[in-house]
Amino acid sequence: MNASAAERSAAGHRARVLRALGLTPWQRRHGAGGGEAATMDEAPTAAGAHADCVVLLPAVCGARELDLLGRALISSGAALARAARVRVQPGAAEIAVPQARAYLACGEAQAHALGRSLPMQVTAQAQIVLVDEPLRLLGESSAKRRLWIALRTLRRSLAAAGH
């Protein structure tokens, strides 16, 4: 059996196993360099894109904080798990942020940058939720509680909109 036939056989076996487990494999729809797998750092952040939800994060954020926030987003459903993530530099006057139905600002600085960057009409139609900065999520149970309440609110809002 040649190498390409072995790869097709392995891919077919993998698909059957995933289907038996009830899992749906995610594949990248477009990208540079045919068929490479997407990494967690490659979140859709194009300014012209339209998203259901956008998460605004501080530019300097540790791996533990990002992991905790990512797990919370994943557990809140597909619409929030696929949310675009935009990092905001400290003191940024304006940021390139896609238009969305909902925004989750992780910290006051991110909320202020969002308010300066979005047109007034978009701001009036979108749901903007402010939560504590990711660093506080690790140490304070009240910050985690506020995050879960915010995610529940966003999930219900997006579900009511038909997503």
Domains of the chain by start residue, with CATH: 50-160 (3.40.50)
In the chain, count H helices and then E strands. Answer: 7, 4
Residue 38's pLDDT is what? 36
Residues of the chain with pLDDT under 50: 32-49
In eight-state DSSP terms, residue 58 is E
Rounded CA-CA distance 93/109 in Å is 10
Is the whole model's pTM more than 0.85, yes or no? no
Query: Residue 2: what pLDDT?
Result: 62
So what's the pLDDT on residue 36? 40
Residue 132: closest CA among 147, 110, 112: 147
What residues contact residue 129 under an 8 Å CB cut-off, 6+ apart? 102, 103, 104, 105, 150, 153, 154
Cα 143 to Cα 148: distance, rounded to the nearest angstrom: 9
pLDDT at 19: 80
